[in-house]
């Protein structure tokens, strides 16, 4: 049926042991239009949540920054982007805004430095609050970049 999407889900862990207590798992959900769906692109509402803790020092942080620059390059001016960074603390370096000033957005990302511990859940919570409820923006996402090991 036209207009339908397929959801592809991938869990951050292959298995979870029964512990009787609370556990956290990260799930990547990718929405793809079915072949019969119209290919019109809806404006994007994207919050990037980036780990800049000490574990990201060097090549890891440089790779994240390059990936974010590529994301910015592919955004349309009517898309909304925000960037949240976390270590032991959380800071919004790009509040939710239209992706019109690509050089300015990239300059904010280039200024990210490594240091501190890792408080991923705090970063995710702030990233979710940066997704404004805007009419006609059906695509909203939070992307978190943090090392798995």
Q: What is the pLDDT of residues 68-107, one digit of tens each?
A: 999 999 999 999 999 988 888 888 999 999 999 999 999 9
User: Residue 123 and residue 137: Cα distance in Å, rounded?
Assistant: 23
| Dihedral sign for Cα atoms in the order 9, 13, 19, 23 | negative
Contacts of 35 (CB under 8 A, 6+ apart): none
Q: What mean pLDDT is reported for the chain?
A: 78
User: Residue 140 and residue 45: Cα distance in Å, rounded?
Assistant: 5
- Band (pLDDT 50/70/90 cuts) for residue 148 is very low
Question: Residue 22 has which token pair?
Answer: 């609370």
CA 112 to mean position of chain CA atoms: 16
Q: Which superfamily is assigned to 43-145 in CATH?
A: von Willebrand factor, type A domain (3.40.50.410)
Give the residue from 54, 46, 50 showing the smallest Cα distance to 92. 50
**Which pLDDT does position 100 carry in this prediction?**
94
**Percent share of the chain, pLDDT over 90:** 20
Structure confidence by residue, pLDDT tens digits, 7-62: 788 887 788 788 878 777 777 777 777 766 556 777 888 888 888 888 888 888 88
Residues 107-125: what's their mean pLDDT?
75
Domain segments of the chain: what residues? 43-145
User: Residue 9 and residue 31: Cα distance in Å, rounded?
Assistant: 9
């Amino acid at each position: 049926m036209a207009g339908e999407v397929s959801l592809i889900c991938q869990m951050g862990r292959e298995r979870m042991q029964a512990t009787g207590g609370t556990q956290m798992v990260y799930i990547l959900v990718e929405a793809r239009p079915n072949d019969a769906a119209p290919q019109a692109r809806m404006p994007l509402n994207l919050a990037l949540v980036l780990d800049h803790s000490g574990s990201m020092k060097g090549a890891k942080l440089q790779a994240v920054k390059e990936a974010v620059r590529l994301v910015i390059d592919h955004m349309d001016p009517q898309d909304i982007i925000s960037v949240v960074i976390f270590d032991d603390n959380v800071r919004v370096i790009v509040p939710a805004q239209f992706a019109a000033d690509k050089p300015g957005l990239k300059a904010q990302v280039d200024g990210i430095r490594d240091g501190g511990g890792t408080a991923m859940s705090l970063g995710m919570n702030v990233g979710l609050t940066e997704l404004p409820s805007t009419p006609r923006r059906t695509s909203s996402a939070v992307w978190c970049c943090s090392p798995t090991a």
